[in-house]
Structure 1
């Protein structure tokens, strides 16, 4: 009975509601559970390549979820910077790679109710390059980027671009998360120059929607900051290779980190590190269909920063 599981679900995710609100949330939750169950039956019949599941978002409609967690960004073409368009020499790129196995990827983090995915994406890419260059896994500060990059065109919890964060880090040092911890909302900038550890001197970019180029960049350089249009079922994803017919290849609403790619039973996929905690998806990750014509704009706002020690 759904009665038991509604209570269990609330306990599991620390949700408390009073009377009328409880009823309202429960109705949404029940509709979502029904959708999840119907979808998973289709998965069991081999009609879809991914499963949906209950998570901390199950009592939200997509519209509510979008308002709280996604970013409303201008169309991709208008907002992009002067990075170096990635051109690979030769063709020697691995058929599959998972940078987690090389220590390039830190633990899965949780952005909370703040549209700061862009900061997690940028920091993830910087963390990967820092390990590559200095053999030292360090957790860097997303909060510093949330607080300090407005004059570079970002909007704190209201969205932003990874490449704007890199511009800020040309002349400011990124602090570690231990000195500048994540809060989940925007404060005044607390940057202290003497605590800066890493800077960004430039970036390789793929803005063309060309997934072969993105594969070469990820396969050779390391984890890439990418953005996607996270429509409909994305927030209920549990496992498998996500595919969507509903997303746009011309706008993005959510930024993540591409930490590798591979192929399973003939379906190519990207491995994406999300920032919605470990209980979302495959321990915080999503496998996402690759070579499906730039699905959800996966290869439209991709970048790998060039990282040096600050100052």
Structure 2
């Protein structure tokens, strides 16, 4: 996809080029009827112009990340927010039932990528369902299951979407990772092969005979503390986190993302912090998203770290304690 974006950037006026528009629609399997085609093309053209202008700033060394065309390029940010983002309460607004985390190891590694230890499954795609919280939950579960049971499993987001309303979640209308943990203290979690993802909420079809893992408790960090989050991720494994998504995040392609417009006290999307590191003196988090592998760096984003809890990445962080069910 990067080569396609570079080809686009060599063209003077994006939206005037029919070939580029049609090629983008072909790649992302987009079809429109009549006036809607013109409407979507106009939005696409404005987004592509923004991508071009931003990437020119990157080439001048003014920003540390690039933007690119993806499956969202025909949406306004307002449309994108309605389809893909939710409102997640901060931990300070809720009575957290987790255990405050205190690192008990003598040293936390300066960098870690849990993908190298098989703690992280393949990138998934939530589709047009506000179920990011379920993907964040299963991602944290998958890491801890690998750590404790020495086995890999890809857990069911659909079970959490369908079965956790009594614990305060709302299916595709949003949810909260700690509510999912509370549910999983009482019920086991099936794998996605037994309970596959549908991207719509349906009746709960949980079958305890097929459950694979459970939550015994969970760690949380003090809201907004990136040092504590580093300790948690560095010693325990991938952590469920939430952040505020802005316009550029929607079109992120590569590099270390830094935002001046997102807010640390507004959380709109749940993701998974799978590690951290530094490049040329810039600290970053390695974050797994749930928008498919064509977004970002094969489904991931390197997210600026130690920038005052940028976008709220340390405002709602947790790691479950996981055991085999029952």
TM-score > 0.5 by shorter chain: yes
Report Cα offsets for 1:151-186 as digits up to 9, x if no partner. 111110011111110000001000010100000010
Q: What's the secondary structure of 2:36's corresponding residue?
A: helix
Supply the distance in 2 between the matched residues of 1:80 and 1:94 (Cα, whole angstroms). 31
CA contact (8 A) 1:76 1:252 kept: no
Q: How does 1:49-198 map to 2 (within 5 A)?
A: 49-89=64-104, 91-198=106-213
- Aligned partner (choices 307, 312, 316) of residue 301 of structure 1: 316
Distance 1:196 1:89 in 2: 31
Q: Separation in 2 of the partners of 1:207 and 1:171? A: 26
Deviation by residue 1:230-280 (Cα, 9 ceiling, x = unmatched):
112111000000011111111200000000000000000000000000000
Q: Residues 69-106 of structure 1, C-alpha deviation per residue, up to 9 Å, x if partnerless?
A: 01023455223521011111355000000000000000
Q: 1-side partners of 2:95 and 2:192: how far apart?
A: 27
Q: Distance in 2 between matches of 1:159 and 1:80?
A: 18
The residue that corresponds to 2:9 in the other structure is none
Separation in 1, partners of 2:104, 2:210: 37
Secondary structure class of the residue paired with 2:62: coil
TM-score (norm 1): 0.98
List gaps (5 residues or longer) in structure 2. 1-15
Please identify, of 153-162 and 86-95, the stretch whose mean Cα deviation from structure 2 is larger.
Answer: 86-95
Question: 1:29 corresponds to which residue?
Answer: 44
Aligned ranges 1:135-284 → 2 under 5 Å: 135-284=150-299
Residues 47, 277 of structure 1: alpha-carbon distance in 2 compared, 3 angstrom cutoff: same
Moved more, 24-33 or 81-90: 81-90
Q: Bigger shift: 66-75 or 232-241?
A: 66-75
Range that drifts further, 67-76 or 25-34: 67-76
**3-state DSSP of counterpart to 1:88:** coil
Give TM-score, length-normalised by structure 2: 0.94
CA RMSD of aligned residues (A): 1.0
Q: Kindly tell me the number of residue pairs found equivalent between the two proteins.
A: 311
Q: For the residues of structure 2 that align with 1:8 and 1:90, how far apart are their CA atoms? A: 52
CA distance in structure 1 between the aligned counterparts of 2:106 and 2:316, rounded to whole angstroms: 22
Could you say what secondary structure the match of 1:130 adopts?
helix
1:13 matched to 2:39? The reply is no
